[in-house]
Amino acid sequence: MNLAELYKEMGRHSWKILDAIFKNLWDYEYVPIQLIASQARIGEEKARNILRYLSDLRIVQNKQTEYEGSTFTFFGLSLYSLHRLVRKGHVEAIGKIMGEGKESAVFNCYSGKYGECVVKFHKVGHTSFKKVKEKRDYGDLHFSVLAIRSARNEYRALKKLQGLAVPKVYAWEGNAVLMELIEARELYRVRVENPEDVLDMIIEEVAKFYRRGIVHGDLSQYNVLASSEGIWIIDFPQSVEVGEEGWKEMLERDVRNILTYFNRTYRMEKDINSVLDRIMQE
Ligand SMILES: Nc1ncnc2c1ncn2[C@@H]1O[C@H](COP(=O)(O)OP(=O)(O)O)[C@@H](O)[C@H]1O
Ligand SMILES: [Mg+2]
């Protein structure tokens, strides 16, 4: 997807329409066209034309059955969230895509305030069991709401972990999280010379997260970045607070994943229980 080019194509009315969809996402999966038109202060016929155009660009998806309504696509929600970051003065320019996976698309970007950064657009919801039960607070649990919640959860976890080996986090808007660009590669793509030290650093970091009340929940060789400068841990949308349902199982799984990787790759043996004791001591 080419966000930068499309961004330039968008006019004032298109942004107003997207504003109106965004405001009503929590109440409707498909926001009724009358509501969009009235909140955007645009006549219904004109709103319909703009929505058709936005649908051709794959920014929104329109439906005609039951009632006429529109919802964001992943691409549209990301474009709109980028717009909010720009409008608030956090981002000046969006650059190349660095990676796109099942769960997110990550772009290079430039910020006058923070320099070179990355913006991560969330694609899916990482909803814990407990949070699903609270679903009435959020209306329908459809794609946009879930992706926004994932971004929020990642932002909040990173906020609590600032100062530790995680990217500095600057802002959250919609499904987008703006953070520091880490110049390092995923652990699985590098062969480290000092695996004992690297494993130790990772465990020490997990212990520090624990002391701040956070369990990562998806720790693996894919979510650790490493360079000669050190290690960083990324990717927090599914993280939970210590004490939340399932936190202990998640911590154990995190530690097991890392130990298994070091065992397979560097033939290192470490007892999981003593590592867990070390993390949870005090
Ligand atoms: N702050 C960052 N600095 C540099 N690269 C990053 C950063 N955040 C993410 N990436 C890159 O984007 C990829 C996907 O990001 P990640 O947060 O792991 O999301 P996903 O849930 O899609 O795995 C990472 O594996 C990494 O290559
Ligand atoms: Mg990842």
> Residue 187's closest CA among 154, 151, 155, 234?
234
Q: Which residues, by Cβ under 5 Å, contact ligand 2, an ion?
A: 223, 235
Does some domain include residue 84?
no
pLDDT of 6 reads 92
pLDDT at 51: 98
pLDDT at 1: 58
Q: Is 109 in the same domain as 140?
A: yes
Does the Cβ of 147 fall within 6 Å of ligand 1? Answer: no
Q: Which ligand is nearest to the CA of 225?
A: 1
pLDDT given at position 216:
98
Return the structure tokens found at 158. 């990173």
The CATH number of whichever domain residue 234 belongs to comes to 1.10.510.10
Ligand 1 pocket test, candidate residues 153, 170, 221, 225, most atoms within 8 A of CB: 225
| Displacement of CA 134 from its chain's centroid (Å) | 21
Ligand 1 center–CA 182 separation, angstroms: 9
Q: Is residue 174 situated within a structural domain?
A: yes
If asked whether residues 274 and 191 sit together in one domain, one would say: yes
**Active-site residue flag, 218:** yes
Model pTM above 0.75: yes
Q: Tell me which ligand sits closest to the C-alpha of residue 226.
A: 1
Residue 67 within any structural domain of the chain: yes
Distance CA 281, CA 279 (A): 6
Nearest CA to ligand 1 atom 1: 181
Q: Range of 59's domain?
A: 3-75
Return averaged pLDDT per consecutive 10 residues of the chain, 282 residues in all.
Answer: 88 98 97 98 98 97 97 98 98 94 94 97 74 54 94 98 98 98 97 97 98 98 97 97 97 98 97 98 76
